[in-house]
Structure 1
Amino acid sequence: MSSDPGGDVDVLLIGIDACCLPILEPLFEEDRVPTLQSIWEAGPSDELESQIPPWTASAWPSLYTGTNPGKHGVFDFLRYDGYDWGVVNADAVGEHSIWELLDHHGLESVVVNVPMTYPPDEINGAVVPGFTAPENPPCQPEGILDEIREEIGEYKVYPTPGGDADAFEEYVDSVGMRSDAFRYLADRFEPDFGFVQFQVTDTVFHQYGYEEELVAEIYEAVDREVDRILEETDPNVALLVSDHGLGKYEGEEFRLNTFLREHGYVETTRGGAGMPSWQTIREQSLRKGEEKTEREPTMLERGVATAAQFGITTRRVGRVLESVGLDEVAKRYAPAGIVKASDEQVDFAASRAYMRSRVETGVRINLEGRDPEGKVSKEEYETVREELIELLEGVEAPDGEPVFEDVARVEEYFEGPKVDRAVDVMTIPNDWNYFLSAQLRDELFAPPAEPWNHKLYGIVTATGPGIEEDADLSGAHLLDVAPTILSALGVPRSDRMDGAPLEVVPPSEEMTYPEHEEGASAAAAGEDVEDRLADLGYLE
Structure 2
Amino acid sequence: MTRDTERPPARLVVLGVDAASPELLDRWIGDGTLPNLRALAERGLVARTRGVEGFFIGSTWPSAYTGTSPAKHGVHYLLQLVPGTYALHRVADAAFVTREPFWRAVSRAGMRVAVLDVPLTRLDESLNGVQVVEWGGHDALYGFRTHPRELARELTSRHGSHPLGPSCDGARRSADDYAALVERLTLGARRKGEWTRELLARGGWDLFVQVFTEAHCAGHQCWHLHDAAHPAHDPAVVARTGDPLERVYRAVDDALGDVLAAAGTDTHVVVFSAHGMSHWFGAQFLLREILLRLSVTVADRSRERGAPSLARRLWHALPEVVRRPVRALLRAVRPTPPTHAIPSLAFDPARSRCFPLNNGLAVGGIRLNLVGREPQGVLRPGAEAQAFCDELAADLLAIVDERTGAPLVRRVLRTDDLYAGEARDALPDLLVEWSDDVPTGSTALAGGAAARVRARSPKIGVVEGANDYGRTGEHRPGGWLLAAGPGIAPGRLDRVLSPYDLAPTLTAMLGVELPDSDGAPVPEIVRRDAWSTESSSRLSPG
1:472·1:503 contact (CA, 8 Å) conserved in 2?
A: no
**Which of the pair has more CA radius of gyration?**
2
Identify which of 218, 222, 231 aligns with 2:252. 222
Report the more deviating stretch, 121-130 or 27-36: 27-36
Q: What is the SS of the residue equivalent to 1:260?
A: helix
Shift of residue 333, structure 1, vs aligned partner: 1.2
**Aligned residue among 91, 106, 110 for 1:88:** 91
SS of the aligned residue for 2:428 comes to coil
- DSSP 3-state at the match of 1:506: coil
- Post-superposition CA distance 1:316-353 (Å, at most 9, x none): 69979957956534311123559xx9x99741635221
Counterpart-to-counterpart distance in 1, 2:303 and 2:211 = 36
Q: Greater shift after overlay, 329-338 or 143-152?
A: 329-338
Name which of 294, 319, 325 aligns with 1:263: 294
CA distance, structure 2, for counterparts of residue 324 and residue 182 of structure 1: 48
Task: Check if 1:498 corresponds to 2:506.
Answer: no
Partner of 1:208: 222
Residue 181 (str. 1) matches residue 191 (str. 2): no
CA distance, structure 2, for counterparts of residue 86 and residue 108 of structure 1 = 35
In percent, how many aligned pairs have the same letter?
23
CA contact (8 A) 2:11 2:207 kept: yes
Report if the CA contact (8 A) 1:266-1:346 is conserved: no
Counterpart CA distance in 1 for 2:508 and 2:348 is 46
Q: Say if 1:333 and 1:316 are closer, same or farther in 2 by CA, change over 3 A.
A: farther
The alignment's C-alpha RMSD in Å is 3.8
Structure 1 residue 167 corresponds to structure 2 residue 185: no
Counterpart code for 1:500: A
Amino acid at match of 2:184: E
CA distance in 1 between partners of 2:294 and 2:441 (Å): 17
Partner of 1:328: 328
- For 1:13, the aligned partner's letter is V
CA distance in 2, matches of 1:373, 1:76: 23
Secondary structure of 1:462's aligned partner: strand
CA distance in 1, matches of 2:486, 2:204: 18
Q: Please tell me whether the aligned partners of residues 415 and 429 of structure 2 are also in contact (alpha carbons under 8 angstroms).
A: yes
Deviation at 1:307, TM superposition (A): 3.8
Structure 2 residue 427 is the aligned partner of structure 1 residue 422: yes
**Distance change (3 Å), C-alpha of 1:488 and 1:375:** same
Give the corresponding residue for 1:452.
473
Aligned length: 469
For residues 46 and 435 of structure 1, do their structure 2 counterparts lie closer, same or farther at Cα, with a shift above 3 Å needed? farther
Counterpart CA distance in 2 for 1:21 and 1:324 is 38
1:223-247 deviation digits (Å, cap 9, x = unpaired) = 0011011111236221111121111
**8 Å CA contact retained: 2:279, 2:441:** no
For residue 291 of structure 2, what is the amino acid of its counterpart? Answer: L
For 2:448, the equivalent position in structure 1 comes to: none
1: CA distance, partners of 2:319 / 2:150: 53
Whole-angstrom distance in 1 between the partners of 2:81 and 2:510: 37
Equivalent residues of 2:125, 2:148 under 8 A apart: no
Distance 1:108 1:133, change over 3 A: farther
2:270 counterpart (229, 232, 239): 239
Q: 1:433 to 1:151 in 2, by over 3 A?
A: same
1-side partners of 2:314 and 2:152: how far apart? Answer: 44
8 Å CA contact 1:54, 1:455 repeated in 2: no
Q: CA deviation at 1:192?
A: 0.7
Contact 2:55/2:359 (8 A) holds in 1: no
- The residue aligned with 1:296 is none
Residue of structure 1 equivalent to 2:107: 103
TM-score (norm 2): 0.76
Would the aligned equivalents of 1:468 and 1:504 in 2 still touch at CA under 8 Å?
A: yes
Provide the residue aligned with 1:69 in structure 2: 70
1:483·1:499 contact (CA, 8 Å) conserved in 2? yes
Checking the alignment, whether the CA contact within 8 Å between 2:49 and 2:478 is kept in structure 1 is yes
Q: Match for 1:444: what amino acid?
A: V
- What is the alpha-carbon distance in structure 2 between the residues aligned to residue 67 and residue 388 of structure 1? 29
Matches of residues 22-37 of structure 1 in structure 2 within 5 Å? 22-28=23-29, 31-37=32-38
Q: Deviations over 1:42-61 (max 9, x none)?
A: 42213221212354531011
For 2:89, what is the secondary structure of its paired residue?
strand
Give the Å deviation of 1:190.
3.0
The one-letter code of the counterpart of 1:366 is N
Q: CA deviation at 1:13?
A: 1.3
Task: Output one character per residue of 1:161-219: Cα deviation in whole Å (capped at 9) or x when no partner.
Answer: 45413333222222123323322332346321111112221211222333221111110
**Partners in 2 of 1:169 and 1:66 — Cα distance?**
35
Q: State the partner residue of 2:489.
A: 468
Q: Alpha-carbon deviation of 1:454? A: 1.3
Q: Distance in 2 between matches of 1:453 and 1:488?
A: 33
1:499-514 aligned within 5 A: 499-506=519-526
Do 1:462 and 1:504's aligned partners in 2 also have CA atoms closer than 8 Å? no
What CA distance in whole angstroms lies between the structure 2 residues aligned with 1:440 and 1:121? 50
Q: Secondary structure at the match of 1:499?
A: coil
Residue range with higher mean Cα deviation, 158-167 or 186-195: 158-167
Alignment of 1:29-428 (within 5 A): 31-53=32-54, 55-81=56-82, 82-89=85-92, 91-130=95-134, 131=137, 132-134=139-141, 136-155=143-162, 158=166, 161=169, 163=173, 164=177, 165-188=179-202, 190-212=204-226, 213-234=243-264, 236-249=267-280, 255-269=286-300, 307-312=307-312, 322=322, 325=325, 327-336=327-336, 346-347=346-347, 349-350=349-350, 351-359=352-360, 361-378=364-381, 380-398=384-402, 399-428=404-433
Alignment check: 8 A CA contact 2:272 2:480 kept:
yes
1:125: how far off? Answer: 1.0
Return closer, same or farther for 1:503/1:389 CA change in 2, 3 Å cut-off. same
Gapped runs of 5+ residues in structure 1? 274-304, 509-540
Alpha-carbon distance between aligned partners in 2 of 1:324 and 1:315, rounded to the nearest angstrom? 11
> Could you give the per-residue CA deviations for residues 31-79 of structure 1, whole angstroms, max 9, x where no partner exists?
4311123333442213221212354531011111111111111111212
Q: Pick closer, same or farther for the CA change 1:224–1:147 going to 2, 3 Å.
A: same
The answer (yes or no) to whether the contact 1:473–1:502 under 8 Å persists in 2 is: no
Deviations 1:262-286 (A, max 9, x none): 111111248989xxxxxxxxxxxxx
Matched-pair contact (CA < 8 Å) for 2:30–2:38: no
Q: 1:480-504 CA deviation, whole Å, 9 max, x = no partner?
A: 1111101111212x22111111233
The amino acid of 2:366's aligned partner reads V
Assess if the C-alpha contact under 8 Å between 2:67 and 2:502 holds in 1.
yes
Residues 423-446 of structure 1 show CA distances to partners (whole Å, capped at 9, x for unaligned) of: 112223345867799x99995355
What is the DSSP-based 3-state SS (H/G/I as helix, E as strand, rest coil) of the residue aligned with 2:420?
coil
